[in-house]
Structures are given as structure tokens and as C-alpha cells.
Structure 1
Amino acid sequence: MSLWATMNFALSAHIGFRYWRARKANTFASFITFFAVSGILLGVAALIIVSSVMNGLEGQLKQRILGAVPQLTVHASQPLTDWEKQVQGLKNLPGVLGATPSISTQAMVQSQTNISAVQVYGIYPAYEQELLRTMKRSFNGSFDKLEPRQYRVILGAELARRLDVVAGDTVRLLSGEGVVYSPLGPVPSQRKFIVAGVFEMGSQVDANLAYVHYEDAQRLMRQKSGEIKHLRLYLVDPFNAVSLTSKVVEQFENQGIEVTTSDWRESYGHLFSAVKMEKNMMSLMLSLIIAVAAFNIVSALVMMVVDKTTDVAVLKTQGLSTLTVMGIFMIQGSLNAILGLISGLLVGIGLSLNLNSILNTLGISVLGAGQSLPVQIEWTQLGWIVVGTLIITFLATVYPALRAAGVQPASALRYE
């Protein structure tokens, strides 16, 4: 930047700051400016609070649902002869926390009083426990009680309530795989299992999920014992499953093994898509508050230009350029925007960090007694809010600045 441009900017900033700081004779313009700043404050604060709550809800869903279901599953076309080596290789991929053998089937679970559909996962308890420790997550279940050939099952809490069973009761699992055909028609594979315990994730998976030992699941599905064709991956961020798919497939192809993959989106993608769309729509609606405040900045600056027409004319006769005059009013409007933005950031972050305490003090329970709103502030998102607000409010200053720059000194000073 040249010295002349620097001097012009400094002059614009000086005059613009004095206009902004001075008590204006036009009280109506001052009134509109106050509401413009207040609108930006409320818009930014509301956007931060709502976004933080939506981020918390999304993160809670990610932990409660995606922590219990396969995030990324590898399906081999042939049994894996050295699956321990495959697991170790997958753990070395960036973004992968670990892997474990997994098998699943859709089944019906029947108790003495009810019957319900269920997704059954066959697992190796030791591997699952190790992965949970790696992920630093707790699982309210009893994996250690799953032993081969003991035919024990762990049910989701809501599923256990529907079936009216507790630990120690017997249920019957009927699998759609391993069907045999008799003269009376197809007969599903079925076995009795003892309820070893229940788990509760606090989400919809509690109503349709069950865990059994890997070998027991193979016998239920009438598969050859000991064969492993499926590996379930746990990821640092389940939302990165798509980008990891090609790396996983490439690793197996380098060893001459043909595989396919599936991920959590097939079962729960619609749920997270709905949450994302709702979050985007809420952000759009709240951004309109900032847009309305920007229009108030336009109105206030136009009135200021009208009020300072004589001053602008005198300044132009002193040799001020068009850009310098524009800079005066653009800086003045930007100062209002920055004031509202900083105030909104402080209010929004402060309320977000203390939201549950404030609601408890007011006696308001949004999710029911004993439950608090999950709040998660993302600093990247805050950065976008700051940048977006500055861009919108900066554009709002362009039109009034152009009007000020278009003042003709001869016309403005004709009757002075």
C-alpha cells in the first residue's frame, strides 16, 4: 500500500470515527443506529446459542447411535485366513481407531409375553472391550458374560422392557438366515438364549439391538464356525466413513482380497440428514435477523449522509477524493457492525456456556426433568459467523457511501 493510500485511509478512519463517536443532531438516525446494533447483537447471539445446542444434539446422537452400530463394515468375498493381521493393518490407517470381527443378522426375538424385530450382532467380547477403552467410552452392558456355546444375549433396555424380560430370563431368537426347507415350508433357524444383561445408550438403538457371541451367532445362522468374512471399523469421526472407504478397499486389494464396504448411512443416514437440514434452516432463519439489522445500518447511514451533506461538500472542496469520502461512511457503518458483533459474541458465548444453569434458575426444563441441553461450541463455526456478519454489514455500507461520494459541492453549498 502506497503512502498516499495509507494517508487517505487514516484520514477516512479519523473522520469516520469522529462522526461515529459524536452525538448526532438527528435523533431519529441515532435511534435507528441503536436498533441496528441491537439487531446484530441479538442475531449473532441467537445464532451462536442455537448452533451450539444443535451441535450438541448432533454430537449426542453421534455418540449414542453411531457408538453402538457399525460405522464402517468390510465384507470380504472369501474367509479371511489372517484376520488379526488385517485388523492391525486397518488400525494403522489415519482416522481408524480399531477394527473387530463382526457378523449381523436381522431376527425376531420372542419372550413369553411378546415378540419384536431385532438386529443381532455377533461379537468377540475381548475385542469390543478393548475398542471401547481406546475410544474412551463406557458401555452399560455385560460383554464379559458372552461366552461361546453358552447362548447368552445382551438386549437393549427398551427392547427388554417391550419383551418384559430381565437378566436370567430365556428368549428365543429366530434368524432369517440359515432357513431350512421342509415339507411344511421354510423353517427359520432358531435357538433359545439366556438374557445376560441389558445396555442403555439413550437412543433408538435400545429398542432394536442385541449382542451375542460371534460363534453363537454363526450357529444361529448355520454358518461354518470360525470363518470370518466381516470386519467392523470404529472411526475417529464416523462422518468421515466415505473418505476412508477407498483407503480400506485399497489395502485389501493390495493383498489380493476382493471386498465391499457398507457404512452407517444405510441405516441412520436419513436421521443425521434431517438433523443437518434442520440445523441449516435454523441458521438461515436466524441469519435473517442480521440481514434486517444490516438494512437498519443502511437507513441510518443514508440519514447521516443527508445530515452531513454540507460537511461532505466542504471536504470535497478541500481535495478529498471519492474513495476517501466513501471510506468515511463505510468505516462509520462498520464500527456499528463491529460493536454489535463483539457484543453478540460475548453474550452468545456467555449464555451458551451457562445455558443449563440459567434454565435451571428460571425453572425451565426443555427436555424434561433431570435432563440438560447438550451444548457444544465449535470455534470454526464461530469464525464463519464472524466473517458472514462482517461481509453482510460491510456490503450494507456501500450504497450510503456511494451517495455521499456523489455529492456535488456546487449544488450542496449553493445556499450556504
Structure 2
Amino acid sequence: MNFGFSFFVGYRYWRARKANAFASFITLFAVSGIFLGVAALIVVSSVMNGLEGQLKNRILGAVPQLTLISDTGFDDWQTSVLAVKKDKRLQHDIMGIVPSATTQGMLQSSSNIAAAQVLGVFPELEQGLSSIISHTYSSAFDALTPGSYAIVLGSELARKLGVKADDEIRILSGDGVVYSPLGPVPSQRKFKVAGVFEMGAQVDATVAYVHYQDARRLMRQDPEVIAELRVYLNDPFNVASITPLITDSLSEQGVAVTSRDWRADFGHLFAAVKMEKNMMSLMLSLIVAVAAFNIVSALVMMVVDKTTDVAVLKTQGLTTAAVMNIFIVQGSLNAVLGLVIGTLTGIVLTLNLNEILTTLGISILGAGQTLPVQLSLTQLTVIVVGTLFITLIATIYPALRAAQVQPATALRYE
């Protein structure tokens, strides 16, 4: 007998009204568990994806994703950049490469002092690459010109220093220290606040921007020399695999560089988000696993109820594999029902989550803020396939029990 007959009988058993009320309750509980587990997995995973994506845009769009450093400086940095961009291995990974200068400094105002990472940039080259520019109030970046000694601060950093546009602050840099009879003297210079940017992330309190040449002068280095190149990547999370390719490409041009990437400063933050995401997914997956075990209970009860039917079918020539398929089909249909309802519910809730929360008057992140939501097709596929696999495994034991029914024993007193 073919699988079609097994499917037909399994479908009839699945649709038939259960004689055992407790078995019906267990089946309903199993379907509901799969429905709730799958829906919760989709919603929570989408929110965690959104949070991770938001952090990536707000933080990694503001800090150097990958920095290439040459101890002697790049003789012709445009040629080096062009060689890297022409490398076929990197054509789809790099957004742009621009000169950069980085120093750790202490920023001092008339009322406070704070540590920050000072980044020297060419504003005209950052257009279309840095997300900072689109999050800067007014046109503050236009004020970053050579010799102007203007600075753009993060909003939280400006608040801590108690300064606003046109105020003056002093920057003390650890680079360019000179030694005097009184001890080491850090390089320092006054800068005028041109404006502030606000990314809504940690960088608002730790990053400041100045013109490249002004940063080099602050560090007591030649302002015409390009010693660092800042690489913008399409996906900063791929920096570990991309860095060796870039350094190899430059080595072929006779340029020796060392590298530094975002993981040194912010790797722990994204690792914590990833761990939380994985733990939430594991916890919600346990709901699906519990529901799968309920399917086992319901099918075992069904096998007991249908022992006589199975015995009769086996006397008519039904094979052991066909008997197993009957109960696998029955259990799988319960799983598919819960999975379909859960998937549709999860997708609808995910796509309309902020509207639903607004309608209910719930504000999780505070007034005026919405939850970041990013529905991933790949993750959705993993959830669906994983749920089907778990529930399919759960049907094997009851199906084996049914296949082991001996017709002579089962029909002895019939």
C-alpha cells in the first residue's frame, strides 16, 4: 500500500471526534503550545534583530569600523584605495575608504572635563558614508575647515561639558607629548564648538569630530601626511574576514599596514546583545518542545484507542511502515495547524507591533519612541523548519508503538 492510503486514514483519524476527552484536551494544548511558541519566537526575534540593527547603524556608523595604519604614512593614499577597490574579492564589501586621524583626549570646558575619542576627518569625503552627518544639527560639519579649530561634539558629551555652539573648549591629547624639566606635557589646543550630533547611542558621550589637519596639528604631526585610512563596510560584522583581504591587497602594492577595528571598543556590547538574543530564542523554543511532547501524549492515547483498528488493518495486509505513517501524519497535522496559525499570527503582530502597542496605550521605550522591528526571512525559515523537525521527531515513538501491535493479541477477545 502506498503513502496515499496512510495519509487518508491518518487524516480521517485527525478529523474524527475523539472518544477520549482527555486526549482531545492534550491535543488542543499541544496545538496551542506550538501556536504560542512560534508566534512569540517570530515577534521576539524580530525585535532583537531590530535592536541589533539599530545599534549597528547608530554606533558603527559613527565610530571607525576598520582603520588601516601605516607607520611611515601612505605615499599616495588615493592609489592605495583604488587598488583595494579594484580587488574582485572586496568589490561588494567596501562602501568607501577615506583618510582619518584618531586620538584619545581630555576635553575641558569652564565647568567640567570629560574623556573622548577625537576623530579627524575631511567632511567633504565623509558625505554619503558617515551617518553622523545626517544626525548633526544644522550644518555644523561645514564649519570643519583647515585651521578653524572647530569641533562637533556628541549631544551627551556637550551636555556633560555644559557647552553649546560657539563656546570654547580645550583639548589635551596624549599623542604629541613633549617632555620638560617639569615632566611630560600633553599637546593641547583650544577648539570652538561648531555644533552637536545625536545618534541616540553610547557614541553621543564618547566621540567628537574635528578637521583632519587640525587633529594632526593637535597631535604635533605633519598635517599633510596621511597615516590612517578609515574603511566603511557594507556589513561591519564581516570585518574579521575582510581585514586580511584588504591588508593582502595593500601588501601586493608594497604598502605595509596594521589594522584596528570596532570590536576592540564595542565588541562586548554586540556580544551581549547576541547572547541575549540567543537565550531568548532558546527559552521560547522550549515552549515548542513542550508542545511537541504533548503531541507524544496525545498520539499514545490515540494508539491505545485505535489498537483494534490497527490490528484489523494489519490483517488486511497493511505494512508496518504504513501503520507508522498513519500516526506520523496525524501528529504532523496537529503540528502544521499550530505552526501555520502561529506563523501567520507572528508575522501580523511583528508588522503591526508598534501600531498595536500605540492602540493599547503601551510605551515600552518611553513617549515618542517605537520598538525597532526587523523581520528576517532566513530566521523565519529556521523557525518553521525547526518546529516541523521537532514535532516530526515527536511522532516517531507513538508511531512505533502502533506498528508493534500484534493482530492476534489485539483481536483475541473481539
CA contact (8 A) 2:212 2:223 kept: no
**1:174, distance to aligned residue in structure 2 (A):** 0.2
Provide the residue aligned with 1:235 in structure 2.
233
344, 347, 362: which is aligned to 1:346?
344
Contact 1:90 1:96 in 2 (8 A): no
Is the 1:80–1:229 contact (alpha carbons within 8 Å) kept by the matching residues of 2?
yes
Aligned counterpart, 1:177: 175
Partner of 1:79: 73
**Equivalent-residue separation in structure 1 for 2:189 and 2:376 (angstroms):** 48
In the TM superposition, residue 79 of structure 1 has moved relative to its aligned partner by: 1.4
Q: Does the CA contact (< 8 Å) of 1:90 and 1:98 recur in 2?
A: no
Q: By how many angstroms is 1:130 displaced?
A: 3.9
How far off is 1:89 after superposition? 3.1
Partner of 1:302: 300
The correspondence of residues 189-268 of structure 1 with structure 2, limited to 5 A, is 189-268=187-266
Segments of 5+ residues of structure 2 without an aligned counterpart are none
Partner in structure 1 of residue 134 of structure 2: 138
Residues 338 and 136 of structure 1, relative CA distance in 2, 3 Å threshold: farther
Q: Following superposition of structure 1 onto structure 2, how do residues 3-402 of structure 1 map, counting pairs within 5 Å? A: 7-92=1-86, 93=90, 94-132=92-130, 138-141=134-137, 142-402=140-400
| SS in structure 2 of the partner of residue 323 of structure 1 | helix
Q: Which amino acid aligns with 2:72?
A: Q
Note if contact 2:133-2:141 (Cα within 8 Å) is conserved in structure 1.
no
Q: Determine helix, strand or coil for the equivalent of 2:364.
A: coil
- 2:340 & 2:381 partners in 1: Cα distance? 12
Name the aligned partner's letter for residue 16 of structure 1: G
Cα offset for 1:105?
A: 0.5
CA–CA distance in structure 2, aligned partners of residues 137 and 48 of structure 1: 34
Instruction: Note the C-alpha offset of 1:82.
Output: 1.0
Question: 1:4 maps to what in 2?
Answer: none
Q: In the TM superposition, what whole-angstrom CA distance separates every residue of 1:26-73 from its partner, at most 9, and x where no partner exists?
A: 121111101100000000000000000000000000000000001111
Normalized against structure 1, the TM-score is what? 0.96
Are 1:77 and 1:257, in contact at CA under 8 Å, matched by a contact in 2?
no
Aligned residues: 408
Question: In the alignment, residue 260 of structure 1 is paired with which amino acid?
Answer: T
Q: What is the TM-score with the length of structure 2 in the denominator?
A: 0.97
Instruction: Compute the displacement of 1:136 (Å).
Output: 11
Change in CA separation of 1:130 and 1:302 when aligned onto 2, cut-off 3 Å: closer
C-alpha distance in structure 1 between counterparts of 2:223 and 2:304, whole Å:
87
Contact 1:302 1:400 survives alignment (8 Å): yes
Deviation per CA, 1:89-120: give whole Å up to 9, x if none.
33443210001001100000000000000100
